[in-house]
């Protein structure tokens, strides 16, 4: 009964938020889009994707603890949403049962490195070791090949992006930052996401944010009410015949 009442309150809040934020979405997104420092031919990860079908992706970085993970997975299951989880190797090895739950529920898993270090400071050999080791640890539990990579701290340079690409990994950033790691309230987290999301967006959240699990149903209900559809990042991005513009947007060739 309590859960039913909570879902009613969540739905009502989502409807109210959707109406309040509809007019300001475009302006808010422009102010929030992750800044890309462009200098010549810089190698870039994928921040977002050029799409007109209202598909977007929710992603969770997993590095510190699992306190909210069960509730997040329950919400995703009840909402029939598949997301993408980026796991650090030491997290995958410490919590293999949660990694198994994630993949068994149909969610996508990418690597978030082996040690969660600033990888722009590493040599190519060290980068390869991080990516190979972390991918192997994930694949050992999931039985699935790792295809996506998110640099820790959003920190990268040409060498990191080029090396990841050469290894067959798609480097993934984000264009909508929930800032849930700052322990914002659930309503503030939801407001940030809903006001900035657009077709092709990649949303950044964390599996252990203090109010992430509480904010998640509000985010899903509100964005759905606004006509959006959720897919894993692997289904959002293009695998071939694309370019990445100076803002980090992935664009299919012939439409730029």
Residue 244's SS3 state is strand
Q: Which of 135, 112, 77 is nearest to 206 (CA)?
A: 112
pTM score, whole prediction: 0.86
Residue 7 has a pLDDT of: 53
Q: How open is the CA angle 87-81-145, to the nearest 5 degrees?
A: 40
**Phi and psi, residue 93, nearest 5°:** -75, -30
Element spanning 204, H or E? strand 202-206
CATH number of the domain at 2-252, out of 3.40.640.10, 3.20.20.370, 2.70.98.40, 3.40.1400.10? 3.20.20.370
The residue among 80 and 16 whose pLDDT is bigger is: 80
pLDDT tens profile 165-223: 999 999 999 999 999 999 999 999 999 999 999 999 999 999 999 999 999 999 999 99
Token pair for residue 72? 């997040």
Q: Which of 99, 101, 97 is nearest to 88 (CA)?
A: 99
What are the boundaries of each domain within the chain?
2-252
DSSP letters for 134-201: HHHHHHHHH-S---EE--GGG---HHHHHHHHHTT-EEB--SEE--GGGT--HHHHHHHHHHH--TT-
Q: For helices 158-166 and 124-142, what crossing angle results, to 10°?
A: 50
pLDDT, the chain, mean: 88
CA atoms of 158 and 180, how far apart (whole Å): 28
The residue among 226 and 3 whose pLDDT is bigger is: 226
Residue 14 has a pLDDT of: 52
Spatial neighbors of 168 by CB under 8 A, at least 6 apart, are 147
Per-residue confidence at 3, pLDDT binned at 50, 70, 90?
very low
């Amino acid at each position: 009964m309590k859960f039913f009442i909570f879902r009613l309150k969540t739905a009502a809040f989502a409807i109210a938020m959707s109406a309040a934020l509809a007019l300001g979405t475009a302006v808010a997104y422009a102010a929030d889009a992750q800044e890309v420092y462009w200098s010549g031919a810089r190698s870039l990860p994928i921040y977002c994707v050029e799409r007109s079908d209202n598909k977007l992706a929710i992603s969770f970085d997993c590095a510190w603890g699992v306190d909210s993970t069960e509730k997040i997975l329950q919400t995703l299951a009840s909402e029939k949403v598949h997301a993408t989880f980026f796991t650090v190797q030491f997290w995958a090895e410490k919590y293999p049962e949660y990694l198994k739950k994630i993949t068994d529920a149909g969610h996508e898993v990418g690597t978030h490195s082996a040690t969660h270090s600033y990888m722009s400071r590493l040599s190519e050999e060290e980068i390869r070791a991080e990516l190979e080791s972390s991918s192997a640890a994930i694949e050992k539990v999931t039985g699935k090949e790792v295809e996506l990579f998110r640099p820790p701290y959003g920190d990268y340079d040409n060498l990191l992006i080029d090396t990841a690409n050469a290894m067959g990994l798609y480097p993934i950033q984000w264009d909508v930052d929930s800032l849930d790691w700052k322990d914002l309230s659930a309503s503030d987290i939801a407001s940030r996401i809903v006001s900035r999301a657009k077709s092709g967006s990649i949303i950044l959240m964390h599996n252990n944010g203090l109010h992430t699990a509480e904010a998640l149903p509000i985010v899903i209900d509100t964005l759905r009410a606004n006509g959006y559809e959720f897919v894993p990042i692997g289904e959002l991005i293009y695998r071939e015949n694309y370019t990445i513009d100076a803002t980090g947007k992935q664009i299919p060739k012939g439409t730029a």
